[in-house]
Amino acid sequence: MSESKLAGRFFDAAIGLLQRVRDEESANIAAAGTAMADAVADGGRLFAFGAGHSSLAAQDVVYRAGGLALMNLLAVPGVVGVDVMPATLGSALERVDGLAGAVLDSSPAAAGDVLVIISLSGRNALPVEMAMNARALGLTVIGVTSVAYAHETRSRHTSGTFLKDHCDIVLDSKIAVGDAELTHDGIEAPFAPASTVVTSALMQATMAAAAERLAERGIEPPLLRSGNVDGGHEWNGRVMTEYRDRIFFRH
């Protein structure tokens, strides 16, 4: 069977985007890594939030081999998208005013912590209010979003602002509005989204930068090892015991 030209075009598009964020967002990635390292060194905690498919990149850095043990998922029931029926309810919840405040008020997040908010469009009420409320509580907010949406769409929040307007640090994924990299004759809708690939890469690059900054200060980064390698469980048990007061995905 011959190779797929469209599959190859998608890889080319994704690689191009990864090269752009590597080159154009390097300073912001370094700043985000430093902010995380500061929080870890000062006794703070790390949180990540994303709604819909943006939640995938948040989940990708929580409780995983090679990741920082202190990264916790700030969960909002129903907004992951595929965990409720109908799935469209998740999209509707992103537009509900006041939900972010309720989530933060009932979470362990506090002043001195870092919250990464992932939202491709950054235009819905939930991520905008999450950033506004988190900063008011004294958290450092890192936004991972496509700045293009702020130029080409209208905000759905009453303030008329976007996620990027309420962050200490912004990582721009460079994803075009619509999140579809390919078009083709005979196919009416654009297809092949790359936001998950790029956003996850931004998150992992930031984790690497944080580990680097900690090592530079002589602090052993609290990393998890794979449970499928010899000694992995023992290593993780030690890390989780040492940092148990800052890890919220286990009790």
pLDDT above 80 for 78: no
Q: How confident is the model over 156-173, as a mean pLDDT?
A: 95
Q: How confident is the model over 154-176, as a mean pLDDT?
A: 95
Q: How confident is the model over 48-71, as a mean pLDDT?
A: 94
3-state helix, strand, coil in the chain (%, to 5): 45, 15, 40
End-to-end CA distance of the chain, in Å? 51
Question: Which residue is listed with tokens 């509005």?
Answer: 177
* CB contact at 8 A, 174 and 21: yes
In 10 A of CB 86, how many CB atoms?
Answer: 8
Distance from CA of residue 61 to its chain's centroid?
A: 8
Average pLDDT, the chain: 92
Can you give the pLDDT at residue 76?
79
Can you give the pLDDT at residue 186?
94
In whole angstroms, what is the distance from residue 75 CA to residue 77 CA? 6
168: which 2 tokens? 């200490």
* CB contact at 8 A, 29 and 205: yes
Q: How confident is the model over 154-163, as a mean pLDDT?
A: 92
For the segment 89-143, what is each residue's pLDDT rounded down to a tens digit? 666 666 667 777 888 888 999 999 999 999 999 999 899 999 999 999 999 999 9
pLDDT above 60 for 244: yes
158: which 2 tokens? 């009453």
pLDDT band for position 48 (cuts 50, 70, 90): very high
AA identity, residue 190: P
Size of the chain in residues: 251
pLDDT above 80 for 1: no
Axis crossing angle, helix 26-41 with helix 5-24, rounded to the nearest 10? 70
Q: How confident is the model over 160-185, as a mean pLDDT?
A: 96
Would you call 141 helix, strand, or coil by DSSP? Answer: strand
57: Cα within 13 Å, side-chain hemisphere? 29
Peptide bond into 86 cis (omega under 30): yes
225: which 2 tokens? 């090892």
For the segment 211-235, what is each residue's pLDDT rounded down to a tens digit? 999 999 999 999 999 999 999 999 9
pLDDT above 80 for 63: yes
